[in-house]
Chains A and B, each alone.
Chain A
Amino acid sequence: MIGVNEKSSPTPPEGGVLEAPKKTLFQENWGLFKRNRLALAGLMIFLIFFIIALTGRILTYGRNPYFNPALVRLQEKLRPPLSMPNLETLKPEEVPRFGVYLFGTDDLGRDVFSRMLQGAWVSLTVGFVAVGIAVVIGVFLGGIAGYYGSSRVRTGHLLAFVLLGWGVIDLLTVVVTILRGQGGINIFLGRIAVDIFMVLIGAGIATLLIRMGYSKGRRPIPTGLSVLFLKLFSVDVLITGLIDIMLCFPSFFLILTVVALLERSIFNIMAVIGLTSWMGAARFIRAEFLSLREQDFVTAATALGVPNWRIIFRHMVPNAMAPVLVSATIGIATAILTEAGLSFLGFGVPPPDATWGNILSNGKNFLFDAPWLTFVPGFAVLIVVLAFNLFGEGLRDVLNPKLRER
């Protein structure tokens, strides 16, 4: 009976083996996705935006870019879109490319088209980096909550976390201060010693807890240290609590506060948007993990001796990513909006660099004299955000089998 092909039991036509036409998962999903016209349009716009942002970055970057977004021509200010430059008053290098102001000029005579190109790159990177940070944090915390949720946090864990965290962060601050030349090493010797002491104790407690954990509690707890082994609450309570607390803050105002305190730079904005928007991804991953953990293939992988981290990241995360992918796509739209909003309020990227938000903000002073200054960036934001949302919803319909049958 060995080697009998179970598939070929009915007589195969013309000697070939009966087989269903093979389709990869991607082909199957793409077939479904294509049917949704709006989502397809969203994807197209998304791709076009991607290309524009990339080329825009290349064409506006450097000291002497192809399109110069920072070139001031005061005599040519507030020209409407598609107007010709006055060649008599301009030096040859100040003449815009193609000899036309495609989107007009602003109050300093800068070419709005070039500025929009530059801003597209900012929007793109903010969207992707911020969402990237959010997804990484979300997957990590959500994964821990879902997989290790029932484990208990002990007093020692908290103590080790506080000691290690405080020590390392304080050490880093000291090092940065010294490197910046804001103080000699002598002033900080005491502080460094205390920090190292804290880190060592923290690491000691952590090692102790890990070693006790592996022995399944069979080893007796050392006397005098039992206070470190008090069970406080479960990991799940800790992380869902953190999620709920983060959701309590009105995030835009949290971002405003943080950005007001930090240096105004594009990286800070990305980081802050990312750090305040991971909760959705974390919840999705946690929920998926709670059900995936009970799946047979996870038990089977464990029975094959696959290590836990590999089970989490190779077996469970890819199975749990579908809802996260959808929320990430829509999250990119939100991040672009948030950045535009921050720039509009003047908390965003500092002035010489253009973003859609600060072009818009600048334009509102000339709303009636030069409506294109608000219309062009506003419309761009609208289109891109709409495209991402439509694409995200199309993706959700494809990845969620319950919504397929419509």
Chain B
Amino acid sequence: MASSPLKRSSPTLPGNRPLLSVRNLKVFFHSDGVVSRAVDGVSYEVKEGETVCLVGESGCGKTVSALAILGLVPQPPGEIPGGKILFKGKNLLDLDEETLQEIRGKEISMIFQEPMTSLNPVFTIGDQIEEAIITHEALNKDEARRRAIELLIDVGIPSPEERSKDYPHNLSGGQRQRVMIAMALACKPDLVIADEPTTALDVTIQDQILHLFKELKEKRQMALLYITHNLGVVAEIADRIHVMYAGIFAEIGNVEQIFRDPCHPYTMGLLASLPSRSRKGDPLYSIPGAVPDPAYKPQGCPFHPRCPYVQESCKAEFPEMCDFGNGHFARCPITYKEKKGK
């Protein structure tokens, strides 16, 4: 999949209204008097019909920021001390639980990483898809069953009539993930959040699922917020990419900008550590060090202990977002000076 990341140019869809707008979102976790700043002020927009990717290493706050949208951050120990999540103009953080329940699944739905454990083992998959439908729409059992089977056809499950009577343990991982996708699409949501939906699957199935996402997105005109650590996947589907590091965005741009002209040393490191045909035989590059503990982030730029271009100012000042033009931003004044100073 990573073979041709640069062929696709991102289609910019001018005039599309922002569907979801996250402004300066912060999610902290408290444990034993220590505050972990899992998400530390991120802002992004998802426009109608757009695919936005959040990319980053494990523990950088990708999943938490997605859970926050649906109000699924457990509070306590979690806390959302600041920010806004505007969905169709409403701030989701201000809504009460009942209103949120109506939005979940109907307007925004979510697909999880582990298809093996995300389905309830004691019900047939048909029942579970029907439940997703009946929760939000006043349909009777037969109509819901028909819709469920249509959905199974849409997500490419063979002989859906029979499969709908199967229990999750009768299905393979890829099929279960297809069922999860069917459940998420059951009420035709405007936004689907996919939290590493292909991570637990092997590569061939990954590819099938990705194609499925692309096809369904086009067919149903929905926006997709795709969370992953896999840059190959990103290159395949993203309209806009947000590279996340230690709870903040390191770099924002489209596929072209991120892959051809990375401006943050972290993104450069990530790209350098992809296996590539041109460096065949060389040992694979890896960024030295590890992601900082969200409870004890370094002063200044959170990436500075691992950064090859580190300077004194990086250790003291928290870097600003720098505008590289055409919607390409990176949180690194050093590269900004270098590139734009010329």
Docked-complex contact B109 and A297, CB < 8 angstroms: no
Tell me which residues across on chain B come within 8 A of A295, comparing CB atoms.
Answer: 117
Tell me which residues across on chain B come within 8 A of A73, comparing CB atoms.
Answer: none
Q: Is B284 in contact with chain A by the CB < 8 A criterion?
A: no
Docked-complex contact B205 and A302, CB < 8 angstroms: no
Cα distance, A280 to B118, chains bound together (Å): 29
Please pick, from A2, A214, A318, the residue contacting B98 in the complex, using a CB distance under 8 A: A214
Docked-complex contact A307 and B114, CB < 8 angstroms: no
- Least distance between A291 CB and chain B CB atoms (Å): 12
Tell me which residues across on chain B come within 8 A of A75, comparing CB atoms.
Answer: none
- Least distance between A265 CB and chain B CB atoms (Å): 39
Which stretch in A4-12, A169-177, A347-355 binds the other chain? A4-12
Within 8 A of B (CB), among A207-237: 214-216, 218
Give the nearest-CB partner of B103 in chain A. Answer: A305
Within 8 A of A (CB), among B46-97: 70, 72, 75-76, 94, 96-97
Docked-complex contact A218 and B94, CB < 8 angstroms: yes
Cα distance, A284 to B48, chains bound together (Å): 47
Docked-complex contact A297 and B174, CB < 8 angstroms: no
Q: Is B276 in contact with chain A by the CB < 8 A criterion?
A: no
Docked-complex contact B212 and A305, CB < 8 angstroms: no
Q: Is A319 in contact with chain B by the CB < 8 A criterion?
A: yes
Docked-complex contact A6 and B207, CB < 8 angstroms: no
Q: Is B317 in contact with chain A by the CB < 8 A criterion?
A: no
Q: Is B23 in contact with chain A by the CB < 8 A criterion?
A: no
- Least distance between A149 CB and chain B CB atoms (Å): 12
Which stretch in B6-14, B130-138, B292-300, B308-316 binds the other chain? B130-138
Docked-complex contact A297 and B120, CB < 8 angstroms: yes
Please pick, from A22, A305, A318, the residue contacting B101 in the complex, using a CB distance under 8 A: A305
- The winner among A5, A216, A310, A319 for most chain B CB atoms within 10 A is A216
Cα distance, A214 to B94, chains bound together (Å): 10
Within 8 A of B (CB), among A290-339: 295-297, 299-307, 310, 314-315, 318-319
- Least distance between A274 CB and chain B CB atoms (Å): 26
Tell me which residues across on chain B come within 8 A of A296, comparing CB atoms.
Answer: 112-114, 117-118
Please pick, from A3, A6, A301, the residue contacting B120 in the complex, using a CB distance under 8 A: A301
Q: Is B105 in contact with chain A by the CB < 8 A criterion?
A: yes
Cα distance, A23 to B130, chains bound together (Å): 23
Q: Is A25 in contact with chain B by the CB < 8 A criterion?
A: yes
Q: Is B334 in contact with chain A by the CB < 8 A criterion?
A: no
Q: Which 4 A-B pairs have the closest CB atoms?
A: A305-B105, A305-B104, A304-B105, A303-B110
Binding site for A on B (CB under 8 A): 70, 72, 75-76, 94, 96-98, 100-106, 109-110, 112-114, 117-123, 131-132, 135-136, 156, 158, 167, 170, 172, 174-175, 180, 183-184, 186, 205, 207-208, 211-212, 215
Binding site for B on A (CB under 8 A): 1-8, 17, 22, 25, 150, 214-216, 218, 295-297, 299-307, 310, 314-315, 318-319
Can you spell out 19 A-B residue pairs with CB atoms less than 8 angstroms apart? Answer: A1-B207, A1-B208, A2-B208, A2-B211, A150-B76, A216-B96, A297-B118, A299-B118, A300-B110, A300-B180, A301-B131, A303-B72, A304-B105, A304-B109, A304-B186, A306-B101, A306-B135, A307-B135, A319-B121
Given contacts A8-B158, A300-B180, A319-B120, 18 further A-B contacts (CB under 8 A): A2-B208, A2-B215, A5-B158, A6-B172, A6-B208, A22-B170, A214-B98, A215-B96, A297-B120, A299-B118, A300-B110, A300-B119, A303-B104, A304-B184, A305-B105, A306-B101, A306-B132, A318-B123
